[in-house]
Structure 1
Amino acid sequence: MKNIIRRIPVCTFLLGIVLSSNSSAQTVVTKVSGGWIKGIEEGPTLVFKGVPYAKPPVGPLRFMPPQPAASWKDTLSCEKFGSPASQADSQGGLKGSEDCLTLNVYTPTTARDAKLPVLVWVHGGALTGGSGMGMNGHAFADDDSVVTVTINYRLGVFGFMYLGDAGKAYQSSGNNGLLDLIMALKWIRQNIAAFGGDASKVTVMGESAGAKLTSALLAAPQAKGYFNQQILESGAVQCIRDTVTAKGIRQRLMTELGVSKPADLLKISAEKLIAAQAEISNGAQGTNYFGPVIDGAVILQDSYQYILKNRNDKVRFLIGTNKFESKMFMGFDKRLNHPDSTVLYGWFGDNYRYVLSNFEAEAKKGNADSAAIKVLNQYMYQMHSYRLANTLAQAGSHVWMYRFDYKRDGTGATHADELGYVWFLPKQNNLNQTELQLAGQIHQTWVNFIKGKAPGEVRGLQWPHFVAGENNIMVFDTVSGPVQLGSVYNDKASPSSCFMLK
């Protein structure tokens, strides 16, 4: 039985499309667990923005696990995006708010019997920046009949600062951002039917830090059952840290702030905390300083061990990396073009020795510049994604792997270059014919996967299953197709965490 939908004309702008003065859009309402909410029609899609999925984590809830959202009496306006999570602006100052636990829903219908597949987007940004509004849900909702949800979650010190030794109530503080994601998934399970979605068909997708956080769900018992698929673009479980590393980063923060006890951090203002966070992160170098923690409460053990012990062949995976991920970071930090122990320690902590040893061996073979790109690519992303894919395949899960190679200038894709092709909007792009074809290939295979099918064919060639040790993948480039890689580098001595302090 379809929902009763009340529509109220209002003048507005469609997302990305300027309407003429005599055009109008309409608002639309639906009922969720907290009460009625009002969204807006944007073209063929109904959009609800800034929907609260948890109580604001402020006051007594600061640094605490998320709590279910309170109810409201009147219809709640959800026509504007909620505030991003507290984070640093380009000068290291504060932007966003601690009151940030909202999500956005893009859907073709609010009919409860529609049973559409659901895509949940977890944004990237080093787990210290970004927001759910960074990607346009119209890409999957307008033409593909996929209910798309984009979420905010707590970042940096508020999402991942370990305070378990400041009091038992804060035992899980190092995983608040992960718990926010789990709370959002719980809310989706309870409410997505009100947006035409099927709670049994949920794909969680993230890129970079978003993929790292999404993959951490695999190590958290509390997350089991809230999703049945994952898409991990350029990220795996390498951001999960031990408490020694988490405390080491926290000590840098405390030193910057001039405090001596972890409990002293609890009352410090967001402005001061974020300024100190920006200072110790030192730009892109702090990409792996924050992340989930093996705290004995939310994450109990090494993620690979947990996955193998708790086999779940009902969850499917699409995982991949880009050809030269590291080039973007080398552009941010020019020192990486000539890596030494100092710069590598800043990026990898005590793991620097593995990276440096491999770089020096590669550099002896020839070009040091290409050796830096290759080795940093391996240790930043490639090795970790393939480790996870192999572990999941060994645990019996269906896995498909890809590599995105394309760059217009022919230099090879760097970090995040695939996003415009995944989130392809036919009416909003400046792609050439080769790129339009590539966007069609990538977007359609992603949609096939989201809808519970195999990714399918590209240029008439089937995307093969990934089998542990066989390295069958799909390469997306000017001419895309399946490839069996001869080998994938794996430094067995290097820990599962990308960044580690001892």
Structure 2
Amino acid sequence: MKRKLTMAALLILASYTAHSVAFAEEECTLCTNTESGTVQGHREDGVVSYKGIPYAAAPREDLRFRPPQPVKPWDGILDAAAYKPNCPQVKDPLEEYPNKGRTVTMGGETVEVYDNEDCLYLNVWTPAADQKKRPIMVFIHGGAFVVGSASSDFYNGKKLANRDVVVVTFNYRLGLFGFLELGELDSRYSGSGNNGLGDQIAAIQWVKRNASSFGGDPDNITVFGESAGSASVTALLATEKPANLFKRAIAQSGAANIIHSPEVARQASKDILAAGKFDTMDKLLESSAEELLSAQQTAYAQSEIGDRLFAPFIDGHVIKDNPNTLISAGNAKGISLMAGANQNEMNYWSIYDSKLRNMFTDETDFGPASPLIAEHYRKALEDKLHGTLDERYSAIMKETNQSKLRQAQNDDFIMIQPMRKMVEYQQPHNPNVYLYRFKWKIPEKYLPAESPDLGAVHALEIPFVFGNLDFSWVPGGQKYSEDPNTNAKKLSEQMMTAWTNFARTGNPNGNGVPAWPEYDLSHRRTMIWDNFSSSTIDPDSDRRKLWDQEVFNPL
């Protein structure tokens, strides 16, 4: 919507607000009004993008460790031309952002940090801000709840939006800023361990309230996420009346087993507070973001639960109960669900090793193997199976290498089987559910000499879902990306069509998508995404049967 501004108003705005940059009337053809103020959009490859819109107040100073608060309206016009800061984090070497962080030394190691707590912003891509009611797809990024950003090129929504949908990405608080439970230190901060999830809810609510400003339908929102984002989708299904927030959900590699029990959340809090010697809330509030990140790094190195330090937790308030229990009881019965996992999920972490060894099964640059299946759990499971998992997997896979056998067990235990179970918990209450398995991998001819074939690793489906076909982060991916004769585009077209069809109607099927029946326990039909995508009855059924009695509850 156009708005005329006087020169006096322009001068006032220039000194009054950091959010706003004024435009003359003739320049503001892509402006639209939100509840907080007017935003200026920009053309981007056939769609209009609005980047860096605040959806909640900056959670710093007295708002640090507090639930998200409404953003203050701005005067004038906010120029939504560029992404805003990432939420505080120590950059992961596999993550790439358009904005550089600061280089500092932590624990004797040189790292890149982002420490701006004014980070609760979202980005929108739309065909037009024209009051039409298009389906809205809201994406929750991954990163183990400790890294990640909505500004990553992986998540640019322009190619999905070109399929006549509205795409939204957003930042949420990470690590101890969003998932540190402080209720035992100070009762006034009870529930702080779910502030990151609260940010997600606030972002979705903002989208719902402002949908028409971007040509979207507030009653047709699909939430989708990968890894920690997928676990977040699972957590959202366990909130009160999730159908009031969104209509459909897509969960990509992350289920209830990644969410925390109250006990794990409390232990994580103790580890963080001890690492930073934070014995009062005043010390936490007075510390700089960098000091808090340093304590977080120390806790990661010292804590027995290590990489499991952060996740949403069952607090009885935001997450009402175990998501598996609630989904099984019909808490999300009004929501259609698509879910799945990748065939070789846990090989992703091999990319961090100089020789691409699997840190969960072999000694690597980081030290001895860190088994993902605890010995007591393995023993209890094997007692029920009347035989060892190694023996069972060896017979099924025709493989004797223990490392490969245990890699397959880890893939099943952490990702593949929990995602299947999630669909099975939902299916009796809403038969409109779909299960997939992503099996595509970099062809061997592109792999470096003597490099192991890591297969379909964690997150490898993301370039296909968003149509941003950059594989430079995976071994052999750079060479593959530079070859114009690859078939990646065809698979990406199929997956983007399936994802947007599901967002539009609740059914992924349509022209350009292989027939994909709903999932049921009679046939367990699963879409296999690879070079020959098709629906398959009960893939890897022998492996699946070994885990049939497991429930995959939160940690």
TM-score, structure 1 normalization: 0.86
Output the CA distance in 1 between the equivalents of 2:269 and 2:373.
16
The equivalent of 1:490 in structure 2 is: 547
1:19 match: none
Aligned residue for 2:151, secondary structure, equals helix
Identity of aligned residues (%): 29
Q: CA deviation at 1:96?
A: 4.2
> Relative to structure 1, is the Cα distance of residues 492 and 96 closer, same or farther in structure 2, using a 3 angstrom cutoff?
farther
Please give the alpha-carbon distance, in whole angstroms, between the structure 2 residues aligned to 1:494 and 1:92. Answer: 39
> Secondary structure of the equivalent of 1:385?
helix
Task: Indicate how the Cα distance of structure 1 residues 355 and 281 shifts in structure 2: closer, same or farther if over 3 A, else same.
Answer: farther
Paired residues for 1:257-296 under 5 Å: 257-260=276-279, 264-282=283-301, 286-296=306-316
Where do residues 67-216 of structure 1 align in structure 2 (5 Å cutoff)?
A: 67-90=69-92, 91-92=110-111, 94-112=113-131, 114-134=132-152, 135-141=155-161, 143-216=162-235
Residues 494, 119 of structure 1: alpha-carbon distance in 2 compared, 3 angstrom cutoff: closer
The yes-or-no answer on 1:437 pairing with 2:437 is no
Instruction: Give the C-alpha shift of residue 399 in structure 1.
Output: 0.7
- Classify the secondary structure of the residue corresponding to 1:144: coil
Alpha-carbon deviation of 1:397?
4.4
1:76-475 mapped onto 2 (5 Å cutoff):
76-90=78-92, 91-92=110-111, 94-112=113-131, 114-134=132-152, 135-141=155-161, 143-221=162-240, 223-260=242-279, 264-282=283-301, 286-332=306-352, 334-338=358-362, 343-344=369-370, 353=378, 360-361=390-391, 366-409=400-443, 411=453, 412-425=455-468, 430=482, 432-456=485-509, 461-468=514-521, 470-475=523-528
Q: Give the whole-Å Cα distance in 1 for the aligned partners of 2:548 and 2:307.
A: 21
Aligned in 2, Cα 1:306/1:495: closer, same or farther, shift over 3 Å? same
- Which blocks of at least 5 consecutive residues in structure 1 are unaligned? 7-24
Alignment CA distance shift 1:354-1:226 (3 Å): farther
**One-letter amino acid of the structure 1 residue matched with residue 230 of structure 2:** A
User: For each residue in 1:352-384, what CA deviation from the matched residue of structure 2 results, as whole angstroms up to 9, or x when unmatched?
Assistant: 656996655557752212212101101221121
**1:29–1:355 distance in 2 versus 1, CA, 3 Å:** farther
* Deviation sequence 1:208-255 (CA, Å, 0-9, x none): 111111221001116441110111111122222112111212222223
Structure 2 counterpart of 1:336, one-letter code? F
CA contact (8 A) 1:5 1:30 kept: no
Moved more, 431-440 or 29-38: 431-440
Alignment-mate amino acid for residue 132 of structure 1: A
Structure 2-normalised TM-score?
0.78
Structure 1 residue 286 displacement after superposition? 4.6
1:10 matched residue in structure 2: none
Structure 1 residue 308: Cα displacement:
2.7
Residue type of the alignment partner of 2:316: G
CA distance in 2 between counterparts of 1:262 and 1:301 reads: 28
**Structure 1 residue 495: Cα displacement:** 4.6
Structure 1 range deviating more: 446-455 or 174-183: 446-455
Structure 1 contact 441–458 (Cα < 8 Å) conserved: no
**Contact 1:323–1:413 (8 Å) recurs in 2:** yes
Shift of 1:473: 0.4
Report the more deviating stretch, 187-196 or 477-486: 477-486
Give the drift of 1:41: 1.7
Residues 1:427 and 1:310: Cα distance change in structure 2 (over 3 Å): closer
For the residues of structure 1 that align with 2:283 and 2:351, how far apart are their CA atoms? 37
Cα distance, 1:93 vs structure 2: 5.0
Task: Please tell me whether the aligned partners of residues 226 and 254 of structure 2 are also in contact (alpha carbons under 8 angstroms).
Answer: yes
Query: How far did 1:351 drift?
Result: 7.3
> Which residue of the partner structure matches residue 16 of structure 1?
none
> How many Å separate the matches in 2 of 1:180 and 1:349?
33
Distance 1:321 1:473 in 2: 11
Q: Deviation per CA, 1:155-187, whole angstroms, max 9, x where unpaired? A: 010111111223333222111111101001111
Query: Which stretch shifts more, 247-256 or 328-337?
Result: 328-337
Amino acid at match of 1:201: N
Do the aligned partners of 1:117 and 1:147 also contact (CA within 8 Å) in 2? yes
